[in-house]
Amino acid sequence: MGRSQNSFIKKQKEKKKAMKKKEKMEKKMERKENNDKGGTLEDMIAYVDEFGNIVDEKPEPPKEDKKKKRDEKPEEE
């Protein structure tokens, strides 16, 4: 009687161990699939606007006034 019960307990331990290993692998694969860490380079870049605030979008290039362009041209005499 002692021998059959001993092998039964061993089988139960092996089943539990196999189940834990299977669950661990499933959790590992789920974490691997749902990994949001890192991301693309574009997601990690931050910009500073003209007021010194950090923003995610790339700021528009500064607008040049037509008056400044006229002033920069040398006048002919």
Q: Which two tokens stand for residue 26?
A: 């499933």
Output the pTM of the full model.
0.43
- Summarize pLDDT for 22-40 with one digit per residue, the tens: 999 999 999 988 887 767 7
Q: What pLDDT, on the 0 to 100 scale, is given for residue 34?
A: 86
pLDDT tops 80 at residue 76:
no
3-state helix/strand/coil string of 20-67: HHHHHHHHHHHHHHCCCCCCCHHHHCCEECCCCCEECCCCCCCCCCHH
Contact 48, 56 (CB under 8 A): no
Greater confidence (65 vs 41) lies with: 41
